[in-house]
């Protein structure tokens, strides 16, 4: 600043206050007398102040406070500072100048120095420095710190800092909820002071590698000993801190208590291991049972064939010598052997129904239904049936097993027909994730209390003299449908027909 940068009310005063003005190119410097009149100012202040005054004109000798549209609060604050200077006090303050109509929003760092003449204060010199940028940055930082503080206080996690040697230098109060210690008991110690020896070795190797690579700590699970002696599992995340030279000075991070989750995971792991073991045992047992059923069935058929053959040969050779009662007994024996043969056959079918003996392919159920209805017409002569068949979907399934399901369901509808002409309705309904297939008849129906048991092996509601069969067909259907990921059930009442419904997934996982 040069002497001619200062404008004063007279040269004598200019010389008097010159020494109190700092030589700066950016600061505002001005002086007021006891009546708040502007008696001196540097050019920086005059250039700034004129546009923001009421008349956009300010001259040396004008009353400063009356020339500017201060708010009541701001004027009082500014005036109080000036008065302190006029009382002989050197005073420092930060003032936020807000004059909306002049679009002024600035922070000023202000020094108020009394002007003394012959031991009498005749005015005050004000040196003002614009600190708006620094103040806003400081306020933003303060807001950020307050938000972070609130987050830290509301978080259940434990915030910490360690130095380059892994020694705690900071610890939030949440530590007491995690390990039972106060922050004062933690600071100065290492995380390894709270671990078992084996855990200390395991985590120590990981931490050593992290330090060497100057990397972040990501989801590091570690078991710690609580103050009461129990074990607590923490999940640790942290970021490395470096100095200006790029040297690692420590880590800052957070620990989350995951003990409950970890124990649940370990318990679930044990349960899964037990289930896997039991599944393997059941798979082996099922394989043995299927093998036994297969072998036993084959071994049983041979003596049955022998019994049947010799009984029929006996009747043929000695028919003339046999009494009617003897012939009747032979007929009973042959029929019993025949029923046993069918039972063995169905047992073989059931034992193989749960096996994936063929690949899954795209199966057109329209073709499957057509094949089965034609089969009954050709082999059984069942032509006096009215079929009402809707459009069927194409599904991912085992082709032969789909034939088995429809053959059993349509066969049952034919077997258990009532006095009216048999009508069989076959339909498909698209659901969100499945296809729902139904086979409905107008036959003799099934009482509701038997809706579950009819799907069990060997459960029959009628004796062999009324209706033939072994009680295996619906059990085979259930096994096949469930193997394909579906369900099967029946809706029926006695003498009101029956509707068998099953589902097949649209997408086989």
pLDDT digit string (tens) for 254-265?
A: 999 999 999 999
pLDDT at 268 over 80: yes
CA atoms within 13 A on the CB side of 203: 24
pLDDT at position 279: 84
Average pLDDT, the chain: 83
pLDDT digit string (tens) for 337-358?
A: 766 666 666 666 655 555 555 6
pLDDT at position 162: 93
Per-residue pLDDT band for 5 (boundaries 50, 70, 90) equals low
Its sign, for the CA torsion 344, 345, 348, 353, is negative
357-505 carries CATH number 3.30.565.10 = yes
Report the 3 state secondary structure along 325-386: HHHHHHHHHHHHHHHHHHHHHHHHHHHHHCCCCCCCEEEEHHHHHHHHHHHHHHHCCCCCCE
C-alpha 457/C-alpha 436 separation (Å) is 24
Give the Å distances, CA to CA, from 226 to 178, 184, 229.
Answer: 8, 16, 5
pLDDT at position 355: 55
> Degrees (nearest 5) of the Cα angle 240, 241, 245?
125
| 0.75 exceeded by pTM | no
pLDDT digit string (tens) for 71-122?
A: 888 889 999 999 999 999 998 999 888 878 778 888 889 999 999 888 899 9
pLDDT at position 331: 77
- SS3 (DSSP) at 458: coil
pLDDT digit string (tens) for 12-31?
A: 555 555 555 554 567 888 99
**Neighbouring C-beta atoms of residue 8, cutoff 10 Å:** 18
pLDDT digit string (tens) for 461-485?
A: 555 455 555 567 888 899 899 989 9
pLDDT digit string (tens) for 295-307?
A: 666 666 677 777 7
pLDDT at position 3: 46
State percent of the chain over pLDDT 90.
35
Q: Which range is least confidently modeled, 16-20, 217-221, 239-243, 498-502?
A: 16-20
Residue ranges per structural domain of the chain: 11-132, 140-262, 268-335, 357-505
Equal CATH topology for 140-262 and 357-505: no
Domain boundaries 140-262, corresponding CATH code: 3.30.450.20
What is the assigned CATH class of domain 11-132?
alpha beta
CA atoms within 13 A on the CB side of 370: 8
State percent of the chain over pLDDT 70.
82
pLDDT at position 352: 58
* CB 397, CB 437: distance < 8 Å: no
pLDDT at 267 over 60: yes
pLDDT at 410 over 80: yes
pLDDT at position 380: 59
Report the 3 state secondary structure along 190-232: CHHHHCCHHHHHHHHHHHHHHHHHCCCEEEEEEEEECCCCCEE
Question: What token pair was written down for 174?
Answer: 């949440």
C-alpha 326/C-alpha 341 separation (Å) is 23
């Amino acid at each position: 600043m040069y002497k001619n940068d200062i404008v004063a009310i007279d040269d004598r005063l200019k010389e008097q206050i010159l020494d109190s003005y700092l030589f700066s190119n950016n600061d505002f410097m001005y002086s007021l007398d006891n009546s708040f009149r502007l008696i001196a100012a540097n050019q920086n202040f005059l250039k700034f102040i004129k546009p923001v005054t009421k008349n956009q004109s300010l001259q040396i000798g004008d009353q400063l406070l009356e020339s500017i549209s201060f708010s009541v609060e701001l004027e009082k604050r500014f005036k109080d500072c000036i008065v302190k200077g006029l009382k002989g006090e050197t005073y420092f303050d930060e003032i936020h100048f807000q004059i909306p109509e002049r679009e002024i929003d600035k922070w000023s760092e202000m020094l108020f120095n009394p002007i003394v003449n012959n031991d009498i204060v005749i005015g005050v010199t004000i040196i003002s420095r614009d600190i708006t940028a620094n103040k806003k940055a400081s306020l933003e930082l303060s807001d950020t710190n307050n938000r972070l503080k609130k987050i830290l206080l509301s978080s259940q996690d434990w915030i910490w800092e360690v130095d380059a040697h892994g020694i705690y230098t900071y610890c939030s109060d949440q530590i007491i909820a995690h390990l039972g210690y106060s922050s004062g008991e933690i600071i100065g110690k290492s995380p390894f002071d709270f671990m078992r020896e084996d855990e200390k070795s395991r985590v120590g190797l990981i931490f050593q590698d992290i330090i060497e690579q100057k990397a972040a700590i990501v989801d590091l699970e570690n078991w710690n000993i609580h103050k009461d002696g129990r074990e607590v599992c923490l999940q640790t995340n942290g970021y490395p801190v470096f100095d200006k030279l790029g040297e690692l000075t420590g880590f800052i991070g957070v620990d989350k208590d995951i003990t409950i989750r970890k124990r649940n995971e370990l318990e679930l792991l044990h349960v899964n291991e037990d289930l896997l073991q039991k599944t393997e045992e059941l798979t082996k047992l099922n394989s043995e049972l299927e093998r036994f059923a297969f072998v036993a069935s084959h071994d049983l058929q041979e003596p049955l064939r022998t019994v049947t053959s010799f009984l029929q040969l006996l009747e043929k050779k000695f028919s003339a010598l046999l009494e009617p009662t003897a012939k009747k007994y032979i007929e009973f024996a042959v029929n019993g052997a025949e029923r046993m043969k069918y039972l063995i056959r169905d047992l073989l079918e059931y034992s193989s129904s749960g096996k994936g003996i063929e690949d899954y392919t795209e199966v057109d159920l329209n073709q499957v239904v057509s094949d089965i209805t034609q089969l009954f017409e050709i082999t059984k002569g069942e032509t006096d049936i009215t079929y009402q068949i809707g459009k069927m979907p194409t599904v991912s399934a085992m082709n032969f097993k789909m034939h088995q399901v429809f053959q059993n369901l349509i066969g049952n509808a034919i077997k258990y027909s009532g006095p009216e002409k048999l009508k069989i309705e076959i339909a498909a309904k698209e659901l969100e994730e499945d296809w729902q297939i139904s086979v409905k008849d107008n036959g003799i129906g099934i009482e509701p209390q038997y809706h579950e048991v009819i799907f069990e092996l060997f459960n029959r509601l009628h004796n062999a003299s009324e209706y033939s069969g072994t009680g295996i067909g619906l059990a085979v259907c259930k096994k096949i449908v469930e193997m394909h990921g579906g369900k099967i059930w029946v809706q029926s009442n006695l003498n009101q027909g029956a509707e068998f419904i099953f589902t097949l997934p649209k997408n086989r996982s």
